[in-house]
Structure 1
């Protein structure tokens, strides 16, 4: 070469190494492309109709297919977003967002989003207990056709009987005796209906547990705050100081916060109870039975149409045979 200079033969760079412009002799490994993490995959606890619970990893689209909910309804349960208290009834599921309870209820199972929260653990145990009793009651009712042994399934208290027998005011009035006898018959029928109490559908058992858990949480916090408020007010009454004033101010702030949370839950429940259509949307079992009935009716009609077509085809074949024989 010109100039007689010796040009060193640098070996080609090894695969997986890159040479920087600042220092050609320095090589560094090329970082492998990062794999994108699956978005929207969360841990859900599934409690089935027998009370058995399991934790599954499911994405947003899997939950949407499983419950029939749109994406905007799932955002209500997102812990990163702040949504008000909600009880929402859809075609195949009920969405619950009340305090620490974030759940989806279907006609056969309950899906809990924040099951790892320590405050949710007592609720999960109570939910499993109620669902298990409901399963036993349903099995007994289907097997025996009588649910009299499960009349105390929901621990409903009976009214205490009053002392003394009631006075029959219709004895001296013959025109009211017939009405009195009719009233007795209606009362007896009402007692019979009360004794033969039907088992609630699965979704109402789960919904009742969610409502009681949310209300119990607020009630316990209010009682705890009340126990702290009385001594603080007594100290402030006996001695006005900066420390006592700050203590009372903190208690007042907590009281305002609890009052606001209680009002949100109350408004949501009142709004739900005032709307008959929203209440009807919560009856998932009835809608499921109606859908199954419609599907069975449609399949029956389709089978009948196919049978009619086959019979019509056989009749046409018989006619062709008779015509050919006659000729």
Structure 2
């Protein structure tokens, strides 16, 4: 495996050096399956062993000891530039500065902090690159709904969904580590190497370190989730607007159809009048005005009747039918508003107390009749 090695002073001792897996397993106290997560696993992992911490998160794959850090190289990939920036940051974190030796964290925690800083910075940068075009497309859709904008929104929503899943996995990896007290206590590699035994619940220092970066990852996840929900809401609104426009077009088509129906009724009577048959109307002086007025009247009747039917169909209600329990509509079976529905007892003037007393009397009379009908 190709690695870059940092010593205890933070200096690079080996660049792109080759290490055998068996050698790493023997020196660092790892299991053969642990190194497979570096080779093939794509999910974030933070494995804690008594003498090493194996990290696989995004573009960083490294092995941390109490006095050495091995960064597995990713040259030739899209993450090589980001990993190079991480190595410069790691070198600065690992080198102790004068006057701050008493306040600095242990060697393994400084390396872990450098990893978490690089990971959160990469997530923030990627989120900013995804958020800006999404927000711009959402603002443009508020002004005008265009096919190209919807296509761009679909592409950006897929990218945002992939990023949200990635950020969620990183957050869950840190959360799983925070839930394991034994792993947190085993992360004190310097004390373990010096033979210092630490209690299982004595891990405040590393816990605070992980919690601070867990909050950063959680903020990124929440921001991406809010942006995804905005995209979903925008899509629903766009669908509603398109449905409303489609309904308007259908309504316009129905209106033209009703107008054509009315004109057709008028032309029907005009056609009857214009047939080569003797009807004796054309011989009169008022024949043409009478037929013209009749055609216009029938045409208007057909149009008004069609528009009234269309307006009735346009009315929507929770009942599906419009009706009431008025005396003139009491024989109909249509539903009315719930405010118009009253119990029959209230219509007859009987109060609830009277109905309760009458019900008890009926129950008492029924029991008496049952007792008298029993055989001796």
TM-score by length of 2: 0.48
SS in 2 for 1:210: helix
Q: How far does the alpha carbon of each residue in 1:205-229 deviate from its partner, in whole angstroms, 9 at most, with x for none?
A: 0001101111111111111211111
The Cα shift of 1:83 comes to 3.7
SS in 1 for 2:9: coil
Partners of 1:291 and 1:201 in 2: how far apart? 14
The answer to whether 1:209 aligns with 2:172 is no
The Cα shift of 1:238 comes to 2.6
Which protein, 1 or 2, shows the higher relative CO under an 8 Å CA cutoff with sep ≥ 6? 1
The Cα shift of 1:234 comes to 2.2
What are the within-5 Å matches in structure 2 for residues 137-148 of structure 1?
137=98
Unmatched segments (≥5 aa) in structure 1: 1-41, 138-148, 154-196, 293-327
SS in 2 for 1:107: coil
Q: Is contact 1:115–1:121 with CA below 8 Å preserved after alignment?
A: no
> Which of 103, 107, 112 is residue 66 of structure 2 equivalent to?
107
Partner of 2:85: 122
The answer to whether 1:267 aligns with 2:267 is no
Equivalent pairs counted in the alignment come to: 191
Kindly report the root-mean-square deviation, in angstroms, between the aligned alpha carbons of the 2 structures: 1.9
> Which of 22, 26, 30 is residue 69 of structure 1 equivalent to?
30
Partner of 2:51: 92
Moved more, 246-255 or 111-120: 111-120
Partner of 1:181: none
Partner of 1:250: 155
Q: Is contact 1:44–1:115 with CA below 8 Å preserved after alignment?
A: no
- In our comparison, the structure showing a higher alpha carbon Rg is 2
SS in 1 for 2:114: helix
The Cα shift of 1:62 comes to 1.9
Q: How far does the alpha carbon of each residue in 1:186-207 deviate from its partner, in whole angstroms, 9 at most, with x for none?
A: xxxxxxxxxxx64311000000
SS in 1 for 2:194: helix
What are the within-5 Å matches in structure 2 for residues 155-170 of structure 1?
none
Q: Is contact 1:96–1:104 with CA below 8 Å preserved after alignment?
A: yes
> Which of 54, 59, 64 is residue 20 of structure 2 equivalent to?
59
Partner of 1:279: 184
Q: Which has the higher helix share?
A: 2
Unmatched segments (≥5 aa) in structure 2: 198-376
> Which of 109, 132, 137 is residue 227 of structure 1 equivalent to?
132
